[in-house]
Structure 1
Amino acid sequence: MISPIAITGATGFIGRRTVEAARVAGLELRVFARRPETVPAHWRQDAGIDITILDLASTENLADYLDGVQSVIHCAAAMAGDHENDTLEATQTLIEAVVKAEVPHVVLAGSISVYDATTLADGATLDEACKIGVKGRDAYAAAKYEQEDMLHAAAVLHKFSLTKLRLGAVWGPTRLFNAHIGPAFGPVLLRLDGGGTVPLCDVELAAECLVKASQAANGVEALNVVDDALPTRAQFLRAFRASGWPKLVFPLPLAMMRLLAAITPETPEMPGLLRRPILEARHKPLTYSNHLMHKRLGPVTNLPFETAMRNSIKNEQTQ
């Protein structure tokens, strides 16, 4: 067993589950969080969790806390807001600390959003061989691409192992919906559906894979992490509506949106769905392969989609 491991962004949506999964696996942890009030009380009672409160983007002594660490799981990133500070500057600080402390392995909680869907044909399968690129995309995708690129360059230069887990749309209690379904306006959803499946990644699967990857350094590699039973958009909505939302669903043809995007100037001021790179990344009819995930990380837990959604809704409603 490779231990101790460190986890950044430990109290975030993915980080919190990763801490729990790592402790179930018996790993000794050093976890980093920005705000003390976000740390679960039971972590403070666990001798196997060493908690440090700091801001990755501004700390100067992170290397001291990484002394002796065998692997870092890097979950810290912004979903929205200050990507420069919370994703990129935090990652640069981590790189410098990893090099100084001679940490042999980093696992990145990356994103499947780094792929360039415009290079794929309708009906294609997206796997690790597909081209990456985020030209014309939203700030989140651009930041995740640059974050991955920074770590990749550093791993090659400084010769530490890097496992880039390109997570699908991570979901679970409190985060059930995602942008691959369509835009929402109050109780109304516009379902944009041209076929294909939704690249979901159950947060529990993400956590399990991040922990497994921390134990399986393999040079510099990328693995896509998505659920086995990926639903169509119609299947997703049928299960999701048990949450009580949306009240009304109106179908929006993908062909019509593609036509509108084709005649709309691609400028940052335009809504995302009128910008072709964003429209294709979210709604191109694709299937998604997790073959390499299974090959490299071994058996993982995958519930049937309807069961997982039902459990997540129940969990969310009882919180």
Structure 2
Amino acid sequence: MKVLVTGATGFIGRQVVHRLREAGAELRLASRHPERLGPGQDAMRMPDVDAPTAAFLALARGVTDVVHCAGLNNDEGNATEADFRAANAELSARLAQAAAEQASGRFIQLSSIRAVIGARVSATIDEDTIPDPQCAYGRSKREAEIRVLDAYASHGRSDATVLRLPPVYGTGMQGNLATLMRMADTGLPLPTGALTGTRSLLSAQSTAGAIWHLLSLSGRLRPIHVASDVPPVSIADIVDAFRDGFGRPTRLMAVPAGPLRIAAILLGKRTSWDSLTASQICDPSLLVSEGWLPETGTLERLAEIARLGDAQSPPLR
């Protein structure tokens, strides 16, 4: 087995590389920054979306499987719809076409629950959830899912699958989880009424484990898989775990949601309020039924991240 891992220098890509090496897989690594991969690697520069077809064929030549981690994340505040579509949908489609022609094994496309639901929606997500993306990032990820599966189907193949992820945490995490961690580090009292949402999360290590599971699974792949830690955790518990890691008191005030919601609306923060209070739960039953073991110590891991100071916390916005 020789696996092409794209986005190999990224947050999830680094964990995937580590896990596959542990499993004894031979690797080809693709990154926009191949110089960060060090000497002695089978490393290539990730082609731009408008690169010649030959560049994508060269990337996939000689590998059996592909794990596509590269893409534009939803924490890129200045990205446009066209940026997301190019980096996520178009790039994925071009790579999948090349891989379907040349790679004999599987194609694992990393996706997001944003391909299915918006940040303000409360829902339980599984493989059969009807997609209704509500942001540019989510629409681009959903289009990427469709185009990757279609690329393989057009070659008479069914060995591509999409792995939908909830927010992923671990060393170098960014986005909303890092913002919550920074908020927890202030030590300011926080109202429980604003932290009522329940979320499924996924550790970066478990993400890599799910990818290896899909690569090594015997039998035919399902087109969609959903991964998550179990059980889901409340946003209040996430903040509490971070504060425990920082050695700070919890300082959660018992303030009811009603007055806070009204204040958020009056201040023009309705979107942020809805995002904080939404419950988004991922059901990983399919993966579990196939033998994958989810992470069960989410809050302990979050506390350890805070203790070690491993997150890259962006400014609050």
Q: TM-score, normalised by structure 2?
A: 0.77
Corresponding position of 1:148: 145
Corresponding position of 1:267: none
Which whole-Å deviations, capped at 9, do the CAs of 1:46-101 have from their partners, x for residues lacking one? xxx51112334243322123223221111011112332332223213202312332
Corresponding position of 1:17: 15
Indicate the larger mover: 3-12 or 227-236.
Answer: 227-236
Corresponding position of 2:315: none
Task: Output the CA distance in 1 between the equivalents of 2:199 and 2:222.
Answer: 27
Change (3 A) 1:165 1:245: farther
Task: Output the CA distance in 1 between the equivalents of 2:109 and 2:259.
Answer: 37
* Paired positions, count: 297
Corresponding position of 2:70: 76
RMSD: 3.8
Unaligned runs of 5+ in 1: 265-270
Give SS of 1:90's match.
helix
CA contact (8 A) 2:195 2:234 kept: no
Corresponding position of 1:87: 88
Matches within 5 A, 1:1-319: 3-39=1-37, 41=38, 44-45=39-40, 49-60=41-52, 61-79=55-73, 80=76, 81=79, 82-116=83-117, 125-134=124-133, 137-160=134-157, 161-175=159-173, 178=176, 193=194, 195=196, 197-216=198-217, 218-241=220-243, 242-243=245-246, 274=270, 283-296=277-290, 298-300=291-293, 302-316=295-309
Which whole-Å deviations, capped at 9, do the CAs of 1:148-197 have from their partners, x for residues lacking one? 12212223322332211111101112326626997988957787747452
Task: Output the CA distance in 2 between the equivalents of 1:175 and 1:119.
Answer: 21
Task: Output the CA distance in 2 between the equivalents of 1:165 and 1:87.
Answer: 14
Q: TM-score, normalised by structure 1?
A: 0.77
Task: Output the CA distance in 2 between the equivalents of 1:190 and 1:155.
Answer: 49
CA apart distance, 1:228: 1.6
CA contact (8 A) 1:196 1:287 kept: no
CA apart distance, 1:12: 0.6
Task: Output the CA distance in 2 between the equivalents of 1:222 and 1:104.
Answer: 17
Change (3 A) 1:182 1:117: same
Residue identity opposite 1:238 in structure 2 = D
Unaligned runs of 5+ in 2: 313-317
CA contact (8 A) 1:66 1:103 kept: no
